[in-house]
Amino acid sequence: MGSKPCFIDKPVVPGDVVLDLSSMANQTIKLGGGLQQDHDAVTVVKAGILRFSKPNKYWIESSHKRYIPTVGDAVLGIVVDKRADSFYVDIKGPMMAFLPVLAFEGGTRRNIPKFEVGTLIYTRIVKANPGINPELSCMDVSGKAAEFGPLKMAICLNHQLVVTNAAELTNMSSS
């Protein structure tokens, strides 16, 4: 591979070998985030773009963003805890969201929904402030259930989102 790999400024994925250290004897190499040394090879551990700066610093530039709850967002969540007056729901945000038992169409103290831990729920965010658990509702703005509520016969898969520039994808597919 020579002293400067052909992967510079190109998309890379975990498992790609981007540097052969045996061909770079007596050079100091600095590895940044997303790269890992394995004997005489440097491999990618996080998808993104391989970057380089002199004198021999390499890192992966990626765009792994986390979800920040916003009022009005429709979200999928998983019930993680039940309380007398609310459910705690994991919406993959910085904090657990809470879903009051009265936040359902026709919800009363006598008509409380019974969700088990692990139930997948489609909800809407009605309150979201930094540092405070977001509040959810299973009603639309008119107070109707619409499509919100527990999902039956559903599977939820977790994955990490990697945002890649469309031009970079085009370059990758043409090489």
Domain ranges, ordered by start, for the chain: 11-61, 74-150
Average pLDDT, the chain: 81
Q: What is the pLDDT of residue 149?
A: 86
Name which residue leads in pLDDT, 17 or 68. Answer: 17
Name which residue leads in pLDDT, 60 or 170. Answer: 60
Q: Do domains 11-61 and 74-150 have the same CATH topology?
A: yes
Q: What is the pLDDT of residue 2?
A: 44
Q: Which top CATH class is 11-61?
A: mainly beta
- Please state whether the predicted TM-score (pTM) of the whole model is above 0.85: no
What are 47's two structure tokens? 């998808």
Instruction: Name the CA dihedral angle for 89, 91, 96, 97, rounded to a multiple of 10 degrees.
Output: -70
The runs of H, that is alpha helices, within the chain are 166-174
Q: Long-range contacts made by residues 168-174, C-beta under 8 angstroms, separation at least 24? A: 168/10, 168/11, 168/49, 169/11, 171/10, 171/11, 172/10, 172/11
Report the share of the chain in percent with pLDDT over 90.
Answer: 19
Measured CA to CA, the distance from residue 89 to residue 76 in angstroms comes to 9
The alpha carbons of the chain give a radius of gyration, in whole angstroms, of: 23
The domain 74-150: what is its CATH number?
2.40.50.140
Q: N- to C-terminal Cα distance for the chain? A: 17
**Which residue from 162, 155, 159 is spatially nearest to 78, judged by alpha carbons?**
155
Tens digits of per-residue pLDDT, 89-145?
A: 999 888 899 999 988 887 777 777 888 899 999 999 999 988 889 999 998 887 777
| Distance set, CA 55 to CA 3, 21, 28, 119 (Å) | 11, 15, 8, 53
